Chains A and B, each alone.
Chain A
Amino acid sequence: MAHALEPQAKTLTEAQGGFSYGLISDHDPRMRIVMACVFAIVTVSLSTIPALLTALATSIGLLLMSRLPIRRTLKRMAMMDSFIIFMLVLLPFSMPGDAMFTVFGFAASWQGLWKAVEIALTANAAILALMVLVGTMEPVTLGHALHKLRCPEVLVHLLMFTIRYIEVLREEYLRLRGAMKIRGFRPGTNWHTYRSFGYLVGMMLVRAIERSERILAAMKCRGFSGRLLLLQDFRMTRRDHLFAATLTAVCVGLLCLDLL
């Protein structure tokens, strides 16, 4: 995940940006989560190239609607592709079928190539829709929406704590790295680097545990009884129903296109 972040970029706050994301962010978060799941499941079940291309076009349409920074979002998507590129490149060679060409005596098959294209289209269409529909939420709103969708309460609490402390701990990490740098530390492929990073991780964890003890004490002091009261309320408006209906219709259309 780190590959997508520039050194000075904020971890999660960068994702939320702090301004309204056009036509998507006004909709009910619960509906967006459910629709992102529906869309992902439908996309994964598609198996023909035209249907998958339409699914990707739908995701790109959602991206344009959302007013997310297009270049950065697509760059993130490309980052994910760089993870799977090896697998995709290997597929034509490992799947038996009609020979396309040979490299060093290994035959590449058309079937393998199409399979690779299919996976790439599915993965990109599903993740782009998710990033547009759910990734544009405030992380805290995601927690509230999951709670309203009847996720286990403890899991939602864990999510809220994690979201709350990622930024705090990242600042601590940058502070420690700054302290290392000021003492002339330059990472390289050597034992000293590995030992220093190991101590850095260890120190971060020890401090994190001690911090969590202080947090717990402070929360108990304020009457924490194991429940966080999540007060945010959501309401489905007519626009939400319309949006959900349209996206559902698109999903049904995709399934029909796939069967043709």
Chain B
Amino acid sequence: MHIVDGALANPVVIGGAVAAAGGIAIGLKSLDLDRIPTAGVLAASFFVASLIHVPIGPSSVHLILNGLAGLLLGWAAFPALFVGLLLQTVFFGFGGLTVLGVNTVNIALPAVLTWMLFGRLIARGSPVHGAIWGGIGGAFSIAATTGFVAVSLALSGDAFLPAAKLVFFAHIPVMAIEAVLTGFAVLLARKVKPELFIKVATS
């Protein structure tokens, strides 16, 4: 998922950085005094959640959960996921500094789209109804992320097309896993703290 320095064409890198700055600016505007700690703690918990390895056959995948981040944070998912990516890049060496903008857009824009499309649907109806929409949202956000990664590679040159396709198809199992896990996470949150999503959907 992480694109590295040097792989993308300059226009893609610059476009990504500008788009990321715009998204972060919108997200920061939505963060008032009361929501800064919430966004910070949630950003930290998504950072930790991505440490969970979920077994799938002989291998395992680590969670991304950007759909769930979007559902809980709305536009604030943009700065929150950016902070996570920045810390990963600087302290763990994943991704790269010049492509930080592109990587942020690839992860955070699907989160915001998931929130726009499914935010209200998740807060409505029975918890199971919400969980099913949560699952669809979780799969959608990963599909959109891999789609964006593939597009950023494809825009940088035709030579990357096979790699772009490979990225997309390799992530189909990840989509399924994220869908199931997001669904169950939403189910639990709806049962334990029903007001959680209602607040986000209306804010």
- Are A and B physically bound partners? yes
Listed in ascending order, the chain A residues whose CB lies under 8 Å from chain B are 1-5, 11-12, 15, 36-37, 40-41, 43-44, 73, 76-77, 79-80, 83-84, 86-87, 90-91, 93-95, 112, 115, 118-119, 121-123, 126-128, 130-131, 134-135, 139, 142, 152, 154-155, 157-166, 168-170, 173, 187-189, 193-195, 197-206, 208-213, 215-216, 219, 224-226
A203, B88: Cα distance in complex, Å: 24
For the residues of B in contact with A, the DSSP-based class is helix
A160, B87: Cα distance in complex, Å: 11
Listed in ascending order, the chain B residues whose CB lies under 8 Å from chain A are 1-2, 4-7, 13, 24-25, 28, 31-34, 36-45, 47-57, 62-63, 65, 68, 72, 79-80, 82-84, 86-98, 153, 158-163, 166-167, 170, 177, 180-189, 192-193, 196
- CB atoms of B159 and A91 under 8 A apart: yes
When distances are taken between beta carbons in the complex, the residues of chain B under 8 Å from A131 are: 90-91, 93
Shortest beta-carbon contacts, A-B, top 3: A161-B40, A198-B184, A122-B6
17 further A-B contacts with Cβ under 8 Å, apart from A79-B93, A206-B192, are: A1-B51, A40-B96, A79-B94, A83-B1, A86-B166, A95-B159, A123-B5, A130-B93, A154-B79, A155-B28, A162-B44, A165-B40, A193-B54, A194-B181, A197-B184, A198-B188, A205-B185
A157, B27: Cα distance in complex, Å: 13
Beta-carbon nearest neighbor of B52 in chain A? A197
26 intermolecular pairs with C-beta atoms under 8 Å apart: A2-B51, A4-B93, A5-B51, A43-B5, A73-B93, A84-B4, A94-B162, A122-B4, A123-B96, A127-B93, A154-B28, A155-B79, A157-B40, A158-B40, A162-B47, A162-B83, A163-B87, A165-B40, A169-B47, A194-B180, A197-B184, A200-B52, A201-B49, A206-B189, A209-B196, A211-B41
- CB atoms of B180 and A198 under 8 A apart: yes
- CB atoms of A202 and B189 under 8 A apart: yes
A106, B40: Cα distance in complex, Å: 49
When distances are taken between beta carbons in the complex, the residues of chain B under 8 Å from A199 are: 184-185, 188
- CB atoms of B37 and A166 under 8 A apart: no
A68, B50: Cα distance in complex, Å: 26
- CB atoms of B50 and A165 under 8 A apart: no
- CB atoms of B90 and A90 under 8 A apart: no
* A31, chain B: closest CB distance, angstroms: 16
Beta-carbon nearest neighbor of B69 in chain A? A205
The contact of A166 among B47, B63, B98, by CB within 8 Å, is: B47
A198, B131: Cα distance in complex, Å: 11
A127 and B4 in contact (CB under 8 A), knowing A202-B186, A202-B187, A205-B185?
yes
